[in-house]
Amino acid sequence: MAYLSRADRRAAILEAAIAVMLRDGFAPLTTRAVAAELHAANGIIHHHFASAQALRREAFAHFYATECTSFDDRCRDLPAAEALRLFLADPLTDTERRMRLWVGAWNEAQQDAEFAVVYAAALRDSHRRLAELIGTCAAAGARVDADSVAWRLQAIGLGLACIAATPAGLLTPEACRKLLAETVRGELGIELEPRTEAPSRSAAVSPNCS
């Protein structure tokens, strides 16, 4: 492995850990697997992280922060309604990697109390972001309990992502996306499919975000 500063090496380790998580899931994320991904000695990983569990915690937190930054960049110039559509549709757009990672994160949280804290923080932040988008869309006057709607949609979205990622084939990813779209339509009156024409300003702030 080429010479890197301590901070850059730690960042490279986290990126390698995320690559392993996305490709193989949480269970195979060992320090040896990450070292192999980096083409580095196993001792380098232990120099920065005391254990595989510690590496998983920080790698997941880094993954979530990166996802948030990407979403913020994509939504910077979007009307609130379009940002909300993107937020709600995004969890079911990757039928393999990201779904499997969130399923693995939930399972890891059941086994590692410290990881559960990191996982819960990501869920709380995700809920806050969703509730703020719902509240912005409802600002024109509709009475909407944004917190409650956000929890319901988040729970359904994560549950469907888990089902879609299950090897037993209970529901296809396409069927899960359809169910989520139906739920969003019932809760907020919006469609998850992107519009073909530019939305008007009134549509961006209307009570049901249609």
The secondary structure of 30-52, three-state, reads CHHHHHHHHCCCHHHHHHHCCCH
Q: For residue 7, name the pLDDT band (cuts at 50, 70, 90).
A: confident
* Alpha-carbon span 25 to 105, nearest angstrom: 9
pLDDT in tens, 40-90: 888 889 889 999 999 999 999 999 999 899 989 988 888 888 888 888 876
**Stronger pLDDT, 188 or 92, i.e. the higher one:** 188
Give the tens place of pLDDT for each residue, 10-30.
Answer: 999 999 999 998 888 888 889
- Rounded to the nearest 10°, the torsion over CA 131, 132, 138, 140 is 160
At 34 the pLDDT is 94
Domain residue ranges of the chain, discontinuous segments joined by +: 1-65, 78-210
Whether the pLDDT of residue 165 is over 90: the answer is no
Looking at residue 96, its pLDDT comes to: 62
User: What does the pLDDT read at residue 203?
Assistant: 33
b/e per residue 34-54 (b: at least 16 CB within 10 A) = bbebbebeeebbeebbeebee
Q: Is the pLDDT of residue 196 over 50?
A: no
**pTM for this predicted structure:** 0.81
**Out of 137-146, 148-157, 187-196, 199-208, which region has the weakest mean confidence (pLDDT)?**
199-208
Give residue-wise pLDDT tens across range 101-151.
888 898 899 999 999 999 999 999 999 999 999 888 775 555 789 999 999
Confidence of residue 193 (pLDDT cuts 50, 70, 90): low
* pLDDT score at 141: 54
The pLDDT of residue 3 is 65
Q: What's the pLDDT at 123?
A: 95
**Tens-digit pLDDT profile for residues 146-159:** 999 999 998 988 88
Superfamily assignment of 1-65 in CATH? Homeodomain-like (1.10.10.60)
Residue pair 139/79 in contact (Cβ under 8 Å)? The answer is no
Nearest CA-CA partner of 84 in 49, 130, 45: 130
Q: Which two tokens stand for residue 164?
A: 């879609």
Q: Over the chain, what is the mean pLDDT?
A: 82
pLDDT in tens, 166-181: 777 788 777 888 888 8
